[in-house]
Structure 1
Amino acid sequence: MHALLIERAQVVQGLIAAHRATGDEGPVLDPVRDAERMRLLVERHEGDLPLTAVEHLWRDIVATCAFLEAPFTVHLDGGAELLGMLDAARYHFGFNPELEAGSDAADVVGVVAGSQNDIGLIALSDRSDLPWWRGLSETGARVTARLPFLVLDTRPADLPMLVISRAEVPRDQQDVIVYDARWGSVLPGDLMGQGIEVVSFHRSASGVDALIAVSADLDETEALKACADAGAEPDVLRPVGGYTAAIDIESDTNEEFETVVTIVSEG
């Protein structure tokens, strides 16, 4: 295993040279590719070794190699519980990237938008103190992943989070599209009845802002219609990223892992 890790690092050095020769300085972490790898790991896993141990080791290897190629900092939502954020950041991105706590989620979005490779981690809560997602866009900082990716009881690093980066992910490679939605009054209707998740919302005197998650099978026009059918047509509906759906892991009677790809809703 050690020899293979050294070999992998040597391959990374070749990638660094190739990227420099072509002037390619884009983000090196690919959320879709990472999700595909995790699915393969889950499919072939067996025995008593905890799957989360494999997940942690694999993510550390991937993040470390990405760091060798282009060093990056992980910016943490300073408005969230710090120990949980640190635990999740080290579990998913290893110990090589520097961790930096922002003052709040909006600060994290601003820093990531002004960087090339940096990553932001924002803790999810039903109600947000501010509509931080207004700073997201499809050309700057955007939602690129949702954690944890493997969903199971009593897992480590289980703080629900969104990953913010500038990685460009084609829509046809995403399972879920995330929108900045705004209403000029109290949010009406039953969005969940139309399969739309309200990831987080902020209520103010001017109305309601929400970060909503919609199946990628629906384009923007269809997503707007789904909101209207729920009696909640927004004044603004703006795509701000997307992610691969989580893997829900259940243990059957033979204690073998079954995997079901689902859009995980916090209700």
Structure 2
Amino acid sequence: MTIKNTKLDALRAEIDRLDAELLSVLEKRIAIVEDIAAAKKVDGKALAFRPGREASILRKILEVHSSKLPDTVIAAIWRELIAAVGWMQKPYSVSITAPDKSVGYWDLARFHFGSATPMKLHQLPSVVLREVYENPSTLGVLPWLTRERDTWWTHLAQGGENVPKILAALPFLDNPSGEFEDLNSLVIGQAEPEPSGDDVTLMALATSDEVSRARLNENLVKAGLSGYCADSRSPDSGDSDWLHLIEMPEFVAETDPRLVKLGEISGESFIKVVILGAYAVPIK
């Protein structure tokens, strides 16, 4: 004879009720996203990837959640949802550069862009850059913080309407399991970066002559910009320019008057400054 566990049955019934409630709320959220997508088509502004807003949403979610689930699990749930509904508004694909540790870079991108987003893997950054240049619906994921190989940013320094911008940094949330092997990447695409409330801006400063990092950092301070020179690249040929990578711990727009002041302070060797993009500071 089996004794019926009424308490257990009641708890399971409550779980079933909550599952149905979650599904109902999810469907309502998706319906709102469809209305947003329709509105964007009307005004001609259809942005499928909004990394600044996505970062802001995820920060708020992780700040208020109080369950025993790890932050990485909560983040994974919302990343999957955000990526899926973004793709519903306007489909896009992701091209990944993985010179080595390809599985790690693939997992890094898949965690952020969800299970349904089409992705491709390439060994050379040049291939990813070309795909992003040619297709505005393609996002590129390129390795970062490997200074000797991070030369791809120089291709963005030319500026221009269709030149991709840096939009996000991966991983946005550290994974304590070590799943991503301390890999770091930046996401580029044909879109304008947007502030999230806690950001890093990257820009390229072009000069006709070699300028020391100490002098560059001094000029940044004089212009009122908080940042530093992270890298400098010498000209490939005699008629090329020196390019200096500047990292700034704030969101800086292309119209920021401090950039004009920086050019004035830099003197005759100054050629131009190009905002390469910005990314939301990852959660530690």
Question: Do the structures match in fold with TM over 0.5?
Answer: yes
The residue aligned with 2:246 is 212
- Cα distance in 1 between the residues matched to 2:175 and 2:261: 32
Alignment pair present for 1:101 and 2:121: yes
Instruction: Report the identity percentage.
Output: 21
Is the partner of 1:150 in helix, strand or coil?
A: coil
The residue aligned with 1:123 is 143
Alpha carbons 1:35, 1:244 under 8 Å: kept: yes
How does 1:137-216 map onto structure 2 within 5 Å? 137=159, 139-140=161-162, 141-151=164-174, 154=177, 156-157=179-180, 158-169=182-193, 175-183=199-207, 188-190=212-214, 195-198=226-229, 202-203=233-234, 206=237, 209-214=243-248, 215-216=250-251
The residue aligned with 2:112 is 92
Alignment pair present for 1:221 and 2:252: no
Q: How far 1:192 sits from its partner (Å)? A: 6.7
Q: How far 1:135 sits from its partner (Å)? A: 3.2
Q: How far 1:148 sits from its partner (Å)? A: 2.3
**Which structure shows the higher helix fraction?**
2
| Larger-Rg structure | 2
Q: How far 1:196 sits from its partner (Å)? A: 2.9
**Which structure shows the higher strand fraction?**
1
Q: How far 1:138 sits from its partner (Å)? A: 6.0
- Cα distance in 2 between the residues matched to 1:120 and 1:28: 14
Count of matched residue pairs:
243
The residue aligned with 1:65 is 85
The residue aligned with 1:8 is 29
RMSD across aligned C-alpha pairs, in angstroms?
Answer: 3.4
Is the partner of 2:95 in helix, strand or coil?
A: strand
- Cα distance in 2 between the residues matched to 1:174 and 1:73: 27
Alpha carbons 1:138, 1:241 under 8 Å: kept: no
Normalised by the length of structure 1, the TM-score is: 0.74
Structure 2: which 5+ runs fail to align?
Answer: 1-21
Structure 1: which 5+ runs fail to align?
Answer: 250-267
- Cα distance in 2 between the residues matched to 1:211 and 1:163: 17
- Cα distance in 2 between the residues matched to 1:221 and 1:153: 42
- Cα distance in 2 between the residues matched to 1:197 and 1:48: 40
- Cα distance in 1 between the residues matched to 2:29 and 2:52: 20
Alignment pair present for 1:241 and 2:241: no
Letter in 1 for 2:191: A
Q: How far 1:86 sits from its partner (Å)? A: 0.3
- Cα distance in 2 between the residues matched to 1:114 and 1:26: 18
Is the partner of 2:147 in helix, strand or coil?
A: coil
Is the partner of 2:213 in helix, strand or coil?
A: coil
Is the partner of 2:66 in helix, strand or coil?
A: coil
Q: Could you report, residue by residue, the CA deviation over 1:156-200 in whole angstroms, capped at 9, with x for unpaired residues?
A: 435211111222235797733211234556662336786534555
**CA distance change for structure 1 residues 188 and 131 in 2, over 3 Å: closer, same or farther?**
farther
